Amino acid sequence: MRYISTRGGAPELSFEEAMMTGLARDGGLYVPAEIPRLAPDEIAGFAGLSYEETAFRVMRPFIGDAFDDANFRDLIARAYASFGHDARAPLKQLDKTHFLLELFHGPTLAFKDFAMQLIGQMFEASLARSGRRVTIVGATSGDTGSAAIEAFAGRERVDVFIMYPDGRVSDVQRRQMTTPTAANVHALAVAGDFDDCQARLKEMFADGDFRDEVSLAAVNSINWARVLAQVVYYFTSAVALGAPHRPVSFCVPTGNFGDIFAGFVAKEMGLPIDRLVIATNHNDILDRTMRSGAYRKRGVTPSISPSMDIEVSSNFERALFWAHGKDGAAVAGLMKDLRETGGFAVSDNAMTDLAAHYDSGMADEAATSATIAATLKTRAELVCPHTAIGIHVGDAHAAKAPEVTMITLATAHPAKFPDAVEAATGIRPPLPPRMADLFERPERFEQVENDLATLEAVIRERRSV
């Protein structure tokens, strides 16, 4: 399996190389040259298997010879052993045709753990084999950072630096990043928003000298291995509800488009997915794009769903690549327009292709709070604000297509966003027992200017080799 860049100007890589590299040198994102298809009876055969065995069968065709079968099974088993639920990704029924897929039973209580825990295992195995070290730098809107820190803390051969927007993450999110004690973990509070952090990260990757000097690696959702790990729960949930014999739709609270793009990959692999519904908060650039055909920035406004306060939705580039018939030059042109003019127009052909897979909807702050309250009242579920956005948009879509089962992704545990949940319901969701003392642990972080040279200097200085 070869991996190619969405901008068509970087060398083809193996799975392992693409995983260790993150962003391609032409600024693009790595994607598999071909998405392997599973036959309906192979998919039907997933029924009754463990999460881990399904994960092995779904991901195996993508990894080439990176790991042999026994080794890969072992890495998967280790990745999910720390999850607080045997099913790993259990389903809950909201009503007759609407289900919630709970993705928050991992160590940091958000879906990011599914990919990050596995990446932690795969990085360690790969680095041990090659004898290399890497410096992982990540930008986070809140949940990726803690998931990465949890996955890499204390691992040999790795330093991990996480840039988060100072003052724009929840207290729980911040403490999950600033309280781990491992010396290889560095939390950087950047004076800016998430898009600033992500822009600095992309600049570091474009700075070839720095990139080589520190052996830069990325575990943001631009990393293909993360998208791949997220493909698995589309299969486990759809099969539990009757696939491949019955189609399902998914509604996905979306920011950087990684999670929902994993759904697209599942569909391309042969999983019968009717619609992939993009759910955004009031930072609704993706919903606006689906409605208007124009992707245009207008500034990010903080919300009670901070993990979706994003305007440069990195993985949307992967969707655009498919919508343009894998024409890397066309995608490179759009990304140049985005950089230079703050937006781009999607061609009619590409819009038709996107509309064949994706629907979209938005929940503003009032709708988000109202959905948190209503979900508790009528469905007896306490949900996080991101999940509430999914439920709001998923309900609206399900009303239009009542014959298809809708699965909404519950992306985080409500206790990660206690203020928003309490404001909506009067109930302050408690942290699970294993992290009940989070607010007593001492914090350790460094405030850094939103400036490339300064950030690079801090990373050079603090890394352990």
Ligand X SMILES: *Cc1c(COP(=O)(O)O)cnc(C)c1O
**Footprint on this chain of ligand X (rule: CB under 6 A):** 110, 112, 143, 221, 253-259, 307-308, 386, 411-412
Q: Catalytic one among 92, 112, 267, 400?
A: 112
How is residue 437 written in tokens? 């003392």
- Other CB atoms closer than 10 Å to residue 426's CB: what's the count? 9
Max Cα–Cα distance, the chain, nearest Å: 58
- 3-state SS of the chain is CCEEECCCCCCCECHHHHHHHCECCCCCEEEECCCCCCCHHHHHCCCCCCHHHHHHHHHHHHCCCCCCHHHHHHHHHHHHCCCCCCCCCCEEEEECCEEEEECCCCCCCECHHHHHHHHHHHHHHHHHHHCCCEEEEEECCCHHHHHHHHHHCCCCCEEEEEEEECCCCCHHHHHHHHCCCCCCEEEEEECCCHHHHHHHHHHHHHCHHHHHHCCEECCCCCCHHHHHHHHHHHHHHHHHCCCCCCCEEEEEECCCCHHHHHHHHHHHCCCCEEEEEEEECCCCHHHHHHHHCEEECCCCCCCCCHHHCCCCCCCHHHHHHHHCCCCHHHHHHHHHHHHHHCEEECCHHHHHHHHHHEEEEECCHHHHHHHHHHHHHHHCCCCCHHHHHHHHHHHHHHHHCCCCEEEEEECECHHHCHHHHHHHHCCCCCCCHHHCCHHHCCCCCEEECCCHHHHHHHHHHHCCC
- CB of 214 or CB of 391, closer to ligand X: 391
In angstroms, give the least distance from the CB of 298 to ligand X: 19
In angstroms, give the least distance from the CB of 95 to ligand X: 22
Mark whether 326 is an active-site residue: no
Q: Which residues contact 169 (CB under 8 A, 6 or more apart)?
A: 140, 141, 142, 145, 177, 306
- Alpha-carbon distances of 100 from 8, 90, 344, rounded to whole Å: 38, 8, 34
Residues taking part in catalysis: 112
